[in-house]
Amino acid sequence: MNKSQEMIGRISEVRKNSFIVTSENKDYYAKLKGKFYEEDAENFPLVGDYVSFIPNPDGESVIQSVCERKNILQRPDQAKTGVMQYMVANADYVFIVTSLNEDYSYNRIARYASVAIQGGAIPVAILTKSDLCNNVGRYIREVESISDKIRVHAISAIYGIGLEELREYFEPGTTICLMGSSGAGKSTLINAITGKEVMKTSEVRESDSTGKHTTTHRQLIDIGGGVSVIDTPGMREIGMANMQDGIDDTFSDILELESMCRFSNCRHDTEPGCAVKAAIESGELSEERYMLYKNLGAENTRNYAMKKEISKWSKERKKFNDKNNIY
Ligand SMILES: Nc1nc2c(ncn2[C@@H]2O[C@H](COP(=O)(O)OP(=O)(O)O)[C@@H](O)[C@H]2O)c(=O)[nH]1
Ligand SMILES: [Mg+2]
């Protein structure tokens, strides 16, 4: 085959060894060129990847190569082997969709935020079903306290409340990755924003007894206006092994405090000169946030060495700043 037949498309679905590549509104079923199998798993195409491929409208198209990625979102695999699972490529925003009822979990939002930050995407917490909640402000403040990198919006898709605030994310060329439990209101939100039924909602599923549509595959959907949405099937828990970069970014203020304790091996318990305890007492650091940091850290086997490294770096920087009168 001749090189000039190559086209650029975007991976919209990944099955075991087959892919759907979307190009100019057409879907092509594709397999990988043999050379991929000699490479690392990281080089396999992911949902959201741009690829070059040789189209075959009547049969299997062949993916030739993956274009350079802007970023990758990854999570530790569920068996906690420490191996990373690559999820999605080229997402600009991670919408962490949580409804303001029993689904709400501060801890889960922090974990998803961590995945986004580590991957280089912007975490946007969307607190849905605000119509069912009478203390929305408290939740907003709580989620804002997770990280200064997280953006927070409370919305009601059903009543159209708060949707205007989200327009800024729907610029042409943007890719939004949706994360959150099934039933959180992800599809309803996207439909409300676009004003069209671009995604199936669970209500539709319930009334449609003939064919239940459940999201079993990660899928990239073109919702129009140059915006793509990646829907992930209900991913309940994400572990924290190997997530150190994400944690460090989310909790950089706590790491900074830890580096200011009098003793470098301070456990923030009864030791004198503990900066963490002092910050909790003065209200500068919320106890809940510190507990979350500790809980997430405890699951993380590689945590300790990395923390030490950062704290060392942070101390050196402080010394340098003091010496040079930099504040
Ligand atoms: N009260 C209320 N219900 C909502 C809202 N958004 C979605 N729902 C309902 O929540 C259910 C699940 O919504 P769906 O969009 O399918 O959730 P998904 O699984 O995250 O995509 C449906 O019955 C929706 O009607 C909202 O803003 N307020
Ligand atoms: Mg859905």
Q: What is the secondary structure of 32-97 as a DSSP string?
A: E-GGGGGS-GGGS--BT-EEEEE--TTS-EEEEEEPPPS-EEEEE-TT-SS-EEEEEES-SEEEEE
User: Could you tell me if 86 and 187 lie in one domain?
Assistant: yes
User: Could you tell me if 82 and 221 lie in one domain?
Assistant: yes
Tell me what the pLDDT averaged over the chain comes to: 81
Share of the chain above pLDDT 90, in %: 45
User: Could you tell me if 116 and 179 lie in one domain?
Assistant: yes
First to last CA, the chain: 63
Task: Look at ligand 1, atom 2, and give the residue with the nearest C-alpha.
Answer: 129
Task: Look at ligand 1, atom 26, and give the residue with the nearest C-alpha.
Answer: 129
Domain count within the chain: 3
Contacts of 296 (CB under 8 A, 6+ apart): 107, 110, 111, 114, 240, 243, 247
Give the number of other CB atoms < 10 A from CB of residue 260. 17
User: Could you tell me if 103 and 127 lie in one domain?
Assistant: yes
User: Could you tell me if 249 and 168 lie in one domain?
Assistant: no
In a domain, residue 61? The reply is yes
Atom of ligand 1 nearest to the CA of 202: 16
Whole-number Å distance, alpha carbon 189 to ligand 1 midpoint, is 8
In a domain, residue 238? The reply is no
pLDDT of residue 211: 32
Share of the chain above pLDDT 70, in %: 76
Q: Which domain holds residue 108?
A: 72-231
Task: Look at ligand 1, atom 16, and give the residue with the nearest C-alpha.
Answer: 201
C-alpha–C-alpha distance, residues 187 and 27, integer Å: 22
User: Could you tell me if 288 and 219 lie in one domain?
Assistant: no
Residue where a domain terminates, one of 41, 66, 91:
66
Whole-number Å distance, alpha carbon 148 to ligand 2 midpoint, is 28
In a domain, residue 239? The reply is no
User: Could you tell me if 105 and 217 lie in one domain?
Assistant: yes
Q: Give the C-alpha distances (Å, rounded to integers) separating 123 from 68, 111, 172, 250.
A: 22, 11, 19, 11
**Is pLDDT at 300 greater than 60 in this prediction?**
no
CATH code at 274? 1.10.40.50
In a domain, residue 52? The reply is yes
User: Could you tell me if 120 and 162 lie in one domain?
Assistant: yes
One DSSP character per residue, 120-150 reads: T-EEEEEEE-GGG-S-HHHHHHHHHTT-TT-
Task: Look at ligand 1, atom 3, and give the residue with the nearest C-alpha.
Answer: 129
Pocket test for ligand 1, best of 176, 178, 201, 232 (most atoms within 8 A of CB): 201
Residue where a domain terminates, one of 203, 231, 259:
231
Whole-number Å distance, alpha carbon 128 to ligand 2 midpoint, is 13
- Ligand 2 is an ion; its neighbours by CB within 5 Å are 186-187
Q: What tens digit of pLDDT does each residue of 190-244 get?
A: 999 999 988 888 754 444 333 334 455 788 999 999 999 999 765 544 444 445 5
159 vs 247 pLDDT, higher one: 159
**Cβ < 6 Å from ligand 1: which residues?**
128-129, 131-132, 156-158, 180, 182-188, 201-203
Nearest CA among 290, 305, 310 for reference residue 249 = 310
Provide the β-strand partners of residue 23. Answer: 26
**Is pLDDT at 114 greater than 70 in this prediction?**
yes
Please, what sign has the CA dihedral across residues 275, 281, 287, 289?
negative
Q: Which ligand is nearest to the CA of 188?
A: 1
C-alpha–C-alpha distance, residues 17 and 34, integer Å: 12
User: Is residue 175 within 8 Å of residue 90, measured between CB atoms?
Assistant: yes
In a domain, residue 327? The reply is no
